[in-house]
Amino acid sequence: MTFELLLQSMIIGLSLGSTYILMALGLTLMFGMMHIINFTHGAVYMLGAFVIYYGFGQWGLPYGVTFFLAMLLLGIFGFVIERCIYRPVHGGVEATLVALIAMTTLIQSLGYPIFGTLDKHVPTVFHGMYAILGVGISAERLMIIPVAVVLVVGLYLFINKTKMGAAMRAIEQDKEAAALQGVNVHLVNAMAFGVGFALAAASGALMAPIFKLDPMMGEQPLLKAFIIIILGGLGSVPGAILGGLILGQIDSIVATVLGLEPAFLLSFVFIILLLLFKPTGLFGHEV
Amino acid sequence: MKSNMRTPVVLVAILLALLVFITVGGNYYAHLLALVFTNVILASSLRLSILCGQLNIGHSAFMSVGAYTSALLAKNLGLPFELSLLSGALLAMLVGLVMGYPSLRLRGVYFAMVTVAFVEAIRLIVQIWVSLTRGMSGLSGIPKPSLFGMLLATKTEQCYLALGLMVVVLLVLYKLEYSRLGLIWKSIGMADNLALSLGVNVASYKLLAFALGCFFAGIAGAFYAHFVRFLFPPTFDFLMATNILVYNYVGGRGHFWGPIVGAAFLSWLPEVFRGSEATRQYETIFFSITMLLTILFLPGGLITLPSKLADLFRRRPVGVAEPGSAAVTSG
């Protein structure tokens, strides 16, 4: 492997990792607060990409506007899911899980009659190549990185500097105590769903011009996000970021050297081994 | 007591009805029923983990191990069906032991997510190991099942075999659940810390339940391999694993009969939509809506539906045990 190829793989890994992080942040946030694994996240990623397909690709809206539209619409969808699925099940971990799986298959199977069975493509948004240290990287992949950084910093400020963020952290520490202090737990949970879904939609919207679109496209990113949050420690935001960066590099470099499937397999083996020695992940704490 | 006699009579009646149905139903229904029986074995074998309170979303991995092992042994080494089935199940159990040992230290959602990793890891190994499994080209030419040297050539004969396998597996699982061992598993499921403090070796019992579940999933997989006679890695994916879990929840995870009802109902349901090309795409939609409605409005699963309906008609307060269902479940 030459230096150029390695550098190119690392930059692509960074851009891949950025979209993984956007997926994983919502999952880890929701896990920290509600102790649920949100299986619907992959379907939301898919919906985010399809908003771009229709808004930008078909109706000719500007990409930026469609991007915000995707985040907004699916953020609202998050509120709806909290109200209609999470709340009626009364927080039963397993029942919520099965209900969310059901919701996921429902969205995916509705996708075929609505979007059609053929693969969809979104036209290129950012044209051209950039040369970094003599290595060519497509603008498409490079632009993902700053967008993801802005969203991650935005989430950090939201969690740490706003009242709603403080309420989220309070629920994460102790739900009952937070409720006794007057925190509206339902509203804040719904907010976590909304924020998580908006980030997943952003991830899908960023990837839409790069990959082909079909109703099942969210499954792989969902599994990646699972690996990341196990790696980083369930419920940990810094863990999700570090995990995403690591997995992005594994996926890009190992895939370049050995091929896609071995890279994917390696990440699962890595997780099983990690759990042997440190079951709570890199940043996790005992639950 | 009258109710003690009623259960076996009902079961024998159902069994006879199934036998008659297989005999007169022709190839189409024989094929369908055999797959329903396979799903019942899978769903019920997952119940062992559920008894211990372990949320396992990785069962299709072990079905895959059983299927590929049995298919390859029969095809490449010409092993008789009985032996290849047993080897498939044993290897599935062995893989279950190796993977279960480290991961069963984890609890709840952590464990659930590792089992997701199992499914993908096994699927990818099968996919990458092309020289053995033919990878994504799919493994074909698997011999038909035979029993004591007698080839089961028709779908109807193979369906009898599936029924037989299901009955044997269910009998074993029933005996297990209502034995001392089953009691220990249930105690772990309810309060593992308490069980631990009372001297129960929680880790070993969890591993035993998990490995036995893998063994029966291996049996289901092995039968599937010789019945469908074509194996393709993505068949045993995450979606199938979630389906096995969903059978338990939709049927009712609090009862031995829950996964059986759930698997039978949900595997049969899509048939309604098989009629024409136009309705086929609504199959999964209907499937997931049923799933969702059951979780939201029948938290105990379909198995609690008769008593709920009875409550509704008698205008009794909900929650009073219905004598009929209690007789079935208390064993």
pLDDT per position as a tens digit, A17-29: 999 999 999 898 8
Q: Does the beta-carbon distance from A101 to B242 stay under 8 Å?
A: yes
pLDDT-derived band of residue B322, with 50, 70 and 90 as boundaries? very low
Please give the residue of chain A at the shortest CA–CA distance from B299: A95
* Region B260-267 average pLDDT: 87
Top pLDDT among A55 and B155 is at A55
Do A261 and B124 make contact, defined as CB atoms within 8 angstroms? yes
Domain ranges of chain B: 25-238
Question: Which range has the worst mean pLDDT, A199-203, A255-259, A275-279, B251-255?
Answer: A275-279
Chain B hits for A247, Cβ within 8 Å? none
Instruction: Out of A130-144, A240-254, B82-96, pick the least confident.
Output: A130-144
Query: Tens of pLDDT along A239-264?
Result: 889 989 988 988 888 888 888 788 88
Q: List Cα–Cα distances, B211 to A61, B140, B167, B298, in angstroms.
A: 55, 28, 20, 30
- What is chain B's percent helix, strand, coil content, to nearest 5? 80, 0, 20
Q: Which amino acid is at A103?
A: M
**Confidence class of residue B63 from pLDDT cuts 50, 70 and 90?**
very high
Which residue among B110, B239, B283 places its CB closest to the CB of A234? Answer: B110
Q: What b/e string do you get for A96-119 counting C-beta neighbours within 10 Å, with b at 16 or more? A: bbbbbbbbbbbbbbbbbeebeeee
Residue B100: name the closest of B188, B205, B187, B198 by CA.
Answer: B205
Return the pLDDT at B69.
Answer: 92
Q: From the centroid of its chain, how far is CA A99?
A: 20
Q: What is the number of CB-based contacts under 8 A between chain A and chain B?
A: 120
Q: How confident is the model at residue A43 (pLDDT cuts 50, 70, 90)?
A: very high
Shortest distance between the Cα of A156 and any Cα of chain B, in A, equals 25
- B45, B50, B54, B60 alpha-carbon torsion, rounded to 10°: 30
Cα–Cα distance measured from residue A239 to residue A224, given in angstroms and rounded to the nearest whole number: 14
Shortest distance between the Cα of A31 and any Cα of chain B, in A, equals 9
pLDDT exceeds cutoff 60 at B213: yes
- Given a cut of 80, whether residue B195 has pLDDT beyond it is no
User: Chain B within 8 Å of A271 (Cβ-Cβ)?
Assistant: yes
d(CA B136, CA B138): 5
Q: Is residue B330 predicted with pLDDT exceeding 60?
A: no
* Residue A69 pLDDT class (50, 70, 90 cuts): very high
pLDDT of B277 above 90? no
Q: pLDDT averaged over chain B?
A: 81
Q: For the segment B292-304, what is each residue's pLDDT rounded down to a tens digit?
A: 888 888 888 888 8
pLDDT above 70: percentage of residues in chain B:
91
Best CA proximity match to A24, nearest among A202, A254, A182: A202
- Eight-class DSSP state of B230: E
Give the CA angle between residues A115, A117, A118 to the nearest 5°.
100
Distance in Å, alpha carbon of A218 to nearest chain B alpha carbon: 13
Residues B308-317 have pLDDT tens digits of 888 777 765 5
Nearest CA in chain B to A91: B296
Residue that the structure tokens 């049996």 belong to: B219
Of A89, A105, A223, the CB nearest to B288: A105
- On the question of pLDDT at B251 being above 50, the answer is yes
Q: Measured in whole angstroms, how far is the alpha carbon of residue A76 from the centre of its chain?
A: 16
Element (H, E) at B116: helix B108-128
DSSP string, B7-32: HHHHHHHHHHHHHHHHHHHHHHHHHH
For an interface test with B, the pick among A106, A114, A236, A260 (most B C-beta atoms closer than 10 Å) comes out as: A106
What pLDDT does residue B323 have? 47
Report the range of poorest mean pLDDT among A47-51, B256-260, B270-274: B270-274
Which domains are delineated in chain A? Answer: 3-277 (1.10.3470)
B→A interface, C-beta within 8 Å: 55, 99, 102-103, 105-110, 112-114, 116-117, 120-121, 124-125, 127-128, 238-239, 242, 245-246, 249, 281-285, 287-289, 291-292, 295-296, 299
CB contact under 8 A, A265 and B128: yes
Query: Using the 8-state DSSP alphabet, how is residue A117 labeled?
Result: S
**CA B113 to CA A232: how far, in whole Å?**
13
> How far apart are the C-alpha atoms of B201 and B10, rounded to whole Å?
38
Find which of A36-40, A228-232, A261-265, B67-71 is predicted with most confidence, using mean pLDDT: B67-71
Residue A151: band (very low, low, confident or very high) from pLDDT cuts 50, 70, 90: very high
**What confidence score (pLDDT) does residue B253 get?**
82
| pLDDT tens digits along B155-180 | 788 888 888 889 899 999 999 888 88
Residue A176 confidence (pLDDT) above 80: yes
Residues 54-113 of A with CB under 8 A from B: 85, 88-89, 92-95, 97-99, 101-103, 105-106, 108-110, 112-113
Q: What is the reported pTM?
A: 0.84
Q: Which chain B residues have a beta carbon less than 8 Å from that of A94?
A: 55, 249
Kindly list the residues from chain A whose CB atom is less than 8 angstroms away from the CB atom of residue B299: 89, 92, 95
- Give the start-end residues of each E strand in B121-260: 139-140, 146-147, 150-151, 230-231
Write the DSSP assignment of A201-255 as a string of letters.
Answer: HHHHHHHTTTS-B-TTTTHHHHHHHHHHHHHH-TT-HHHHHHHHHHHHHIIIIIH
In angstroms, the separation between the Cα of residue A287 and the nearest Cα of chain B is 9
Q: Which of B60, B97, B105, B110 to mutate to test the interface with A (most CBs of A within 10 A)?
A: B110
Query: Which residues of B fall within a CB distance of 8 Å from A219?
Result: 238
Instruction: Give dist(CA A246, CA A20) in Å, integer.
Output: 10
Contacts of A101 (CB under 8 A, 6+ apart): A39, B242, B245, B246, B291
Q: Which of B49, B120, B136 to probe the A interface (max A CBs under 10 A)?
A: B120
pLDDT for the residue B276 = 59
CA dihedral over A216, A220, A225, A231, signed as positive or negative: positive
Chain B nearest CA to A128, separation (Å): 35
* Nearest CB to B284 within list A94, A105, A227: A105
First to last CA, chain A: 42
If one compares B153 and B256, the residue with the highest pLDDT of the two is: B256
In this prediction, residue B324 has a pLDDT band, given cuts at 50, 70 and 90, of: very low
Taking the CA of residue B192 and the nearest CA in chain A, the distance in Å comes to: 15
ipTM value for the complex: 0.77
pLDDT in tens, A111-123: 888 887 778 888 7
